[in-house]
């Protein structure tokens, strides 16, 4: 007897637009208390957006010189203290080794 694997939910990175299994991406939420935070479990309530686990996608999503794609996806402004904690997360991400990294694409 052949065991058929269940459905694997997919989400799209807001920066590079690549679809990946939900567990391979990091969820960022705008919660009911008005804070933007990282949701590592994917279970917190609030409007969510997904990003790959690589530095270029995070830097692109938080770039205020362009469109601030993360704020746009969450439909809110990101407070300076929340932006600082997200920047701290970026600083802890490994440097880009160019292997398996997609270039972020602009949101139209």
Express each pLDDT in 56-102 by its tens digit: 999 999 987 778 899 999 999 999 999 999 999 999 987 765 544 55
Q: 């997904």: which residue's tokens? A: 50
Instruction: Tally the domains of the chain.
Output: 1
CATH number (domain holding residue 82): 3.30.1230.10
- Segments of the chain assigned E as strands: 10-12, 19-21, 26-30, 36-39, 47-51
Q: Which domain holds residue 64?
A: 10-92
Give pTM, 2 decimals: 0.82
Report how far residue 103's alpha carbon sits from residue 105's, in angstroms, rounded to the nearest whole number.
6
Q: Determine the 3-state secondary structure of 50 from DSSP.
A: strand
Assigned domain for 5 exists: no
Structure tokens that stand for 70 in this block:
């993360």
């Amino acid at each position: 007897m052949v065991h058929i694997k269940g459905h694997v939910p997919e989400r799209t990175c807001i920066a590079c637009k690549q679809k990946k299994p939900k567990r391979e991406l990091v969820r960022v939420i705008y919660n009911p208390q008005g804070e933007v935070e990282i949701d590592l479990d994917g279970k917190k309530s609030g409007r969510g957006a997904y990003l790959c686990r690589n530095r270029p996608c995070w830097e692109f999503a938080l770039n205020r010189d362009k469109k601030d794609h993360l704020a746009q996806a969450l439909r809110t402004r990101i407070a300076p203290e929340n932006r600082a904690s997200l920047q701290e997360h970026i600083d802890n991400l490994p440097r880009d080794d160019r292997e398996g990294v997609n270039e972020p694409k602009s949101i139209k």
